[in-house]
Structure 1
């Protein structure tokens, strides 16, 4: 029940944004941007992710990064900035237009501290030009977000989803230590920490069961990440959605909220008839009006 309590606390303190049928949001989570080394799982999907961000920027979407965007358990943020300068340049464009919302997860839990955010995210020092540039100046990371439809009072609760996951929440310093100094060296060989929910099916089901308890109790739609397992509910199921992640082999998944509808989407590189690799967007589930998932 700890998950239910902590999700409720996050919900009660969440930033609230009013939306309508013209609102457009893309939600990605679990990018786990690293330092560009062999164990940086994000690097293999970086071009796909960049193409997707350009698409959403040009289409007028607001980008919600729902936790674990940067892999701060394993790497210093300065190294991440240098490795993925193009990504942060794209995100900065969203931020400058007021179209970027940053939610922290367990792997970037340091973003709870304003001092850390100001020191690392406000500016970027370019060693080649020997000059300092604005990065995400003034960004205010949130634990959770509520999108509210004024006409119907329906709410869409967005959070990373680690709340109440004992090892990744209350005991996160221990989990970070074991990952940073042991398990991360096995990433290159596809071996994951068995305590992680990503490859532990039993742990995934336990976490998701707790999500559903919260939804059933609060009668509120939930969108999260954390488990890396995509989820778009069937009509008879509780409205639990999961974005998946940006570190699947050769694909990126996310949730779109656009013009009153919600969709589960996938971006991946596929060859065309001439054998040229192109980035394609595919709708996996939906679109369905998010009003269909109102269970109050």
Structure 2
């Protein structure tokens, strides 16, 4: 019998577009930027320079940018216009990706209202298809979504959660109190969400790439589950790169040279893992 998480995830991919990858495809997967309005609640603010440096690098190298939800913090804030004004450099660079057909944006629980946006269309799911054209092996499918579907409070009841965050936890956060309902900040909720997501992927004989929990993970053919991490870690941002037919978990951080000058560093955390070596496991 299917549980509610499975039903919600099935629905996410019912009409999801399919993006076929080639050996030359370059993809960067980023999620949970939580871009805000520049105040003390703007968790993106501390890493904005890291993010912009990473984004510039990916643009110059010809990567396609895929944002897996919660790009903009629209639970604490009502106005996307205010967010775009504060982080205008980011949206300018995203517009360059879009103008070249290299931008895909998904929505999460914190930016669910962008689902029906005519100006900035956001998807609920996207499927990456990887085929080995030199053999008769079946193609692998990587299902991309935010991951909030694993948690009823952040999916079905997202309006209630938004109300609580906007009028209760946002003021308390300014006093140092963390939101206990957040999967990113509550270990038990995070672990439960990750187990449900992994179970769904194994059952459907595919690989699932999400954000939401903010805990980065490079999956394998046992878990079938990958996670991009987030852009609101204390001292870094994390993401997943697909290049040369392999996937790598990467962090971008500020580092210090021996002469005490600062620079933005890209550091692989895990991988590269060849996609076609993952194979498929019978459900």
- TM-score category (smaller protein): over 0.9
Spell out the pairing of 1:118-197 with structure 2 (5 A cutoff): 118=118, 122=119, 139-150=120-131, 151=133, 152-197=138-183
Q: Describe the superposition over 1:25-83 as per-residue Cα deviations: whole angstroms up to 9, x where unpaired.
A: 00100000000001101000000000000000000000000000000111111110111
How many angstroms does 1:14 deviate by? Answer: 1.1
- What residue in structure 2 maps to residue 207 of structure 1? 193
- What residue in structure 2 maps to residue 98 of structure 1? 101
How many angstroms does 1:16 deviate by? Answer: 0.5
Whole-Å separation in 2 of the counterparts to 1:29 and 1:242: 9
- What residue in structure 2 maps to residue 39 of structure 1? 41
- What residue in structure 2 maps to residue 17 of structure 1? 19
Is the contact made by 1:221 and 1:293 (CA closer than 8 Å) also made in structure 2?
A: no
Whole-Å separation in 2 of the counterparts to 1:208 and 1:293: 19
Is the contact made by 2:240 and 2:249 (CA closer than 8 Å) also made in structure 1?
A: yes
Whole-Å separation in 2 of the counterparts to 1:188 and 1:243: 27
Q: Describe the superposition over 1:66-114 as per-residue Cα deviations: whole angstroms up to 9, x where unpaired.
A: 000000111111110111011101111101111000100010001112x
Whole-Å separation in 2 of the counterparts to 1:264 and 1:190: 30
**Residue 294 to residue 5, structure 1, CA distance change in 2 (3 Å):** farther
How many angstroms does 1:23 deviate by? Answer: 0.5
Whole-Å separation in 2 of the counterparts to 1:245 and 1:171: 23
Whole-Å separation in 2 of the counterparts to 1:209 and 1:53: 31
- What residue in structure 2 maps to residue 229 of structure 1? 215
Scaled by the length of structure 1, the TM-score of the pair is: 0.89
Once superposed, which parts of structure 1, at least 4 consecutive aligned residues long, lie more than 6 Å away?
A: none
Greater CA drift, 190-199 or 254-263: 190-199
Is the contact made by 1:30 and 1:246 (CA closer than 8 Å) also made in structure 2?
A: yes
Could you tell me which runs of 5 or more consecutive residues in structure 2 were left unpaired when the two chains were aligned.
Answer: none
Aligned length: 273
